[in-house]
Amino acid sequence: MAAMNPNLISYLPNLRVVDCTLRDGGLVNDFYFTDEFVRALYQANLKAGVDYMEFGYKCSKNIFSPDRFGKWKFCDEEDIRAIVGDNPTDLKISVMADVGRCDYEHDIIDRKDSVIDMVRVATYVNAIPTAIDMVEDAKQKGYEATVNIMAVSKVDSEDLKNSLELLAQSSADVIYLVDSFGSFYPEQIRRLTDQYMEVAAKYGKKVGIHAHNNQQLAFANTLEAMNKGAGATYLDATVNGLGRGAGNCHLEMLLGFLRNPKYKMIPILRFVEQYILKLREEGVVWGYDVPYLLTGQLNAHPSSAIRFIRDGRSDYYHFFHELIDDTL
């Protein structure tokens, strides 16, 4: 039974854990995960009690060439079914669709013909009307739908207020707070979560959190947004933090913290041991590093830090001043 007055050791039954390893991690290796890797992750999530597994993107092949990216950039129905069959489990399947990068009217088929359960729409503030159209399309086809507002740390407060109001009036089930640049601190996350929750409560929506680890705060910010079950209830994480640049909230950390007896950390630890360590040995790079700290502190896109690391640079002092010059 859930505690009457939730605290850090309470069982919180309203939480939903979303594994974004394939989608966010795919940004590190262009989505070239083997079927063995994906199938093993699916089984690990099942054993761990994870609620949703995001398989990747629904990107248009007219915009992105299948010759340049692995199949989880596109998440064709037959590719997902090759892993999960009809998915006769409690684990739900999700995909992400970016505004402007998905031919959603054609690439996303009716839910009755799909093994996918939830479509997550990612948008910038200037594309909110299209995001709403994508949400309505997904809902009409029978899916759960969420919206991720990206780069919120760069958004004017009035624009954010108006965007939240519009999205909350749409058919979206969940509105996500996204710390795209890993620039927020816990006290900022708390204020933003309160703002999201106020609008969501008015229209009967839920709130989610997707954090990046540039300042090693992804886990802390996720807990802050959760606020003992009174805040964000959809919690994104990736195995071992696998994701672009500094990566994300670590799934094993989150499962190890949550008190819901359905969640089990050990299956994820075994997956890390058997598959994630091999990725690192093969030269796949992600996770906290000084360049990501600097972009996070300066509220800058991590792309410059990714190039810095890829080029083998270590002149942090000069890089810091390059970033300052770019922000002036």
What pLDDT, in 10s, does the model give residues 6-47?
776 777 889 999 999 999 999 999 999 999 999 999 999 999
Percent of the chain with pLDDT over 70: 97
Is residue 126 within 8 A of residue 151, CB to CB? The reply is: no
**In whole angstroms, what is the distance from residue 299 CA to residue 248 CA?**
16
Pairing of strands 174-178, 206-210: parallel
Q: What is the pLDDT of residues 245-254, one digit of tens each?
A: 999 999 999 9
Helical spans, DSSP H, in the chain: 21-29, 35-48, 77-84, 104-107, 128-140, 157-168, 186-203, 218-226, 251-257, 266-271, 277-281, 290-297, 303-310, 316-327
Summary mean pLDDT of the chain: 95
Measured CA to CA, the distance from residue 220 to residue 248 in angstroms comes to 11
pLDDT level of residue 230 (50, 70, 90 thresholds): confident
Q: What is the pLDDT of residues 95-142, one digit of tens each?
A: 999 999 999 999 999 999 999 999 999 999 999 999 999 999 999 999
Q: In whole angstroms, what is the distance from residue 323 CA to residue 310 CA?
A: 17
